[in-house]
Amino acid sequence: MPRYAIYFVPPAETEFFRFGSAVLGYDCYTGGGIKRPAILDAEPKFWDRLTAEPRRYGFHATLKAPFDLAPSCQEAQLVSALHSFAGLGHAIAALTPAVQMLSGFAAIVPAAASPAIDELATKCTTIFDAFRAPMAAQERARRVASGLNQNQIANLDRWGYPYLFADFRFHMTLTSQVGVDRRDHVLATLQKALGRACKDPALAIERISLLRQNDANTPFRVIEQATLRSAR
């Protein structure tokens, strides 16, 4: 069974997308590999291991976490809903990306908080939930065992994902967990790589993407995009 997700994915032609995809070694538009930044070439095996997990998802920020499609729904309906949602009118958020460590992994985050991004994520979480199949008991047990608090368990049970609303933080993952002894090095390397790759990294969150993972052994890939209509 395929899985679907609603993500923000930067436009393929931007320096910012090329940077993030190069760090991961995967282009979620083409479904192919991509050469890493030269600054990472000194330790190729280290970076391969460190990016193996986020590589499966592509360079993105989650707006609606991966889900199985409800039996009563079809992919074409989800595609139609994506465009209908985009046309509703939204506050278009702008952000300046920065590389930070979040709970032990490196990610791109906004340099400043953005209520418009939080609002977009909340809308995606709630509106597209109509397409989500119920979570399997094994998946729930795995999530709960990771140490969720009561609010996160409630989110998991209602919306299929724990880190929502007050627990949501817009981020674009670049690595899996980094050992404490390597965190400063990894952070400094990625910050330098971003500075070299992107002369003007500022961007607007003006589109949303639908991605599909055909099976557990294949990565997510963009299958549809919709441009957000500004509420102004």
How high is the pLDDT of residue 136? Answer: 93
Tell me whether residue 149 is in a domain.
no
How high is the pLDDT of residue 199? Answer: 86
Which H or E run includes 121?
Answer: helix 115-127
Integer Cα distance of 19 and 30 in angstroms: 15
Specify whether the CB–CB gap between 63 and 213 falls below 8 A. Answer: no
Tell me whether residue 122 is in a domain.
no
How high is the pLDDT of residue 228? Answer: 97
Tell me whether residue 59 is in a domain.
yes
Which of 118, 11, 131 lies closest to 66, judged by CA?
Answer: 131
Tell me whether residue 144 is in a domain.
no
Integer Cα distance of 10 and 95 in angstroms: 12
**Token pair 């039996």: residue:** 71
Tell me whether residue 198 is in a domain.
yes
Domains: count for the chain: 1
Tell me whether residue 34 is in a domain.
yes
Integer Cα distance of 134 and 131 in angstroms: 10
Determine the structural domain holding residue 64 and report its residue range: 3-113+171-227
Tell me whether residue 152 is in a domain.
no
Tell me whether residue 138 is in a domain.
no
Q: In which residue ranges of the chain is pLDDT below 50?
A: none
The CATH number linked to 42 is 3.90.1140
pLDDT digits (tens, 9 = 90+) for 149-183: 999 999 999 999 999 999 999 999 999 999 999 99
How high is the pLDDT of residue 78? Answer: 98
